[in-house]
Amino acid sequence: LEDEVERSEGRFSVEDLKSKWKRCCDVVSRTNIALPMILQKAEPIGIYGSKVHIGFRQSFHFEMMSQKKNLDVLNAAICEIMNCKIDVMPVFEQDETEKVVGELAEAFGGVIVE
C-alpha cells in the first residue's frame, strides 16, 4: 500500500512524457545502445494509475520491449526523467493495413509470409 501512495505522489500526463520522450531514450542508451532505435518508433499512448502504456506498431519492436530486461531499462529511464515510479506496459498497435490483411488471411485460412 505504501508503494502505491508513493507512486501516486508524482503524477504526470502522457503529454508531459511525450515532450520528454527523447530524453528518456537518451537515458536508455546509456544502458542499451539498441533500444533507443526501437523506442524512436514507439509513443506513449496513455497512463492508467501507475501503468504507462507505450504503443508499438511493429510486432518485433513490441516483442523486444515485452522482455523484462528491456522493460526494466525503460522503467528506470522514465523514473529518472519524470521523477516518478511507474510500470511500462507495451501495447501492440496494429496499423489498419496490417489489420485488414490479417483478417483476410484468417478468413480464408491462410498465413501471411513476409
Planar angle of CA 91, 94, 100, nearest 5 degrees: 155
Q: Which domain holds residue 19?
A: 2-107
Q: CA–CA separation, 69 vs 66, rounded Å? A: 9
> What's the rounded mean pLDDT across residues 49-77?
96
* pLDDT value of residue 11: 82
| CATH at residue 33 | 3.30.300.180
Ramachandran angles phi, psi of 52, nearest 5°: -105, 120
* pLDDT value of residue 99: 60
Which of 93, 86, 68 lies closest to 20, judged by CA? 86
Q: What is the pLDDT of residues 4-57, one digit of tens each?
A: 323 344 589 999 999 999 999 999 999 999 999 999 999 999 999 899 999 999
Q: Is the confidence at residue 83, as pLDDT, over 70?
A: yes
Domains of the chain: total: 1
Tell whether 112 is covered by a domain: no
Q: Is the confidence at residue 107, as pLDDT, over 60?
A: yes
Tell whether 93 is covered by a domain: yes
Q: Judge contact between 40 and 25, C-beta under 8 A.
A: yes
Tell whether 48 is covered by a domain: yes
